[in-house]
Amino acid sequence: MKSGVVALIGRPNVGKSTLLNTLLGHKVSITSPKPQTTRFNIQAVYEDDRGQIIFVDTPGIFGRTPDTLSKRINARAEGSLVSGIDAVVYMVDHTRERDTEENKALGIVRKFKGPKILVINKTDIRAPSHIVQYKFLEDEFTTVIMLSALAHKNTNILLTTLFDLLPEGKQIVDRSTLAQPALNMDSKLFISEIIREKAFLFLRDEVPYTLASAVDEVVERDNGTVYIKAKIITSADRYKAMIIGKGGAMIKEISQAARKELETATSKKVYLELTVVTDPHWMEYV
């Protein structure tokens, strides 16, 4: 059998998390229309009769790092290539022009000396297209794959290519011993990421990247209902008011959407108590 560790690298919002969710068939990494959704490296397992792949979904690379959070995100992404990686999937979005973020991500990938796959994502979108700006990269990579993570187009080709490139080896991880849906996410972290995703989706451009989420308590009651006490953390009272919404309408929508997804993921009834708190220093410890 084949086995190995594969890192997904790219600038923010190129579709790394969507690709990972598509390949594995269930949600392991949150996705939203905004960049900076993934703030830490997520590891998850794909396995079939060909072997086993450990995927590392890294945070998007930022060209400029004006705050401590962005600097830590870049360090985590670059750190994922230090050791133990067998192959790299470098994703680009042909609908966006190259910029300083792209150049920084490419610089990190160039330091890796093993097999590298250039994935050009969002091929389901024909225009705008800046694919000519990425053609020069083809000679630097082992192979190039055009795909659409959202439309599930050519993702099977990516898996086949990865298995061809990975070394022969025994199973790395016994999946039966792992908590799903991801290897290095405990239940509280997974829940908080779902809440954060829904906040991004509903708030969109109303609130900048001034929020985080945290879970204080998860209890399964005697009747089988999972009780979750969680909070959204933001940096200023004006953002808190936006997140809560008029008459509590916005926080109710976020809570309902998160609860429904958690019920689908756990196949259990979920009661979610969600509040909003202000902490101007939250970026220092995320």
Per-block mean pLDDT, blocks of 10 residues, the chain (286 long): 87 84 69 45 76 76 44 45 77 90 85 92 93 90 95 95 90 52 54 82 67 84 87 87 91 90 79 90 62
Indicate yes or no: pTM above 0.75: no
What pLDDT does 120 receive? 96
Residue 95 corresponds to which tokens in the numbers above?
């609908």
| Amino acid 56: pLDDT | 81
Beta pairing class for 270-278 and 226-234: parallel
* CATH numeric code, 187-284: 3.30.300.20
Domain ranges of the chain: 2-177, 187-284
Q: What pLDDT score was predicted for residue 37?
A: 46
Q: What CATH fold (topology level) applies to the domain 2-177?
A: Rossmann fold (3.40.50)
CA distance 24 to 41: 16
Distances (CA, A) of 36 to 121, 193, 199: 18, 12, 13
The predicted structure's pLDDT at residue 80? 47
Q: How high is the pLDDT of residue 207?
A: 60
Q: Report the phi/psi class of residue 267: left, alpha or beta, with left for phi > 0 and alpha for psi in -120 to 50.
A: left
Mean of the per-residue pLDDT values of the chain: 78
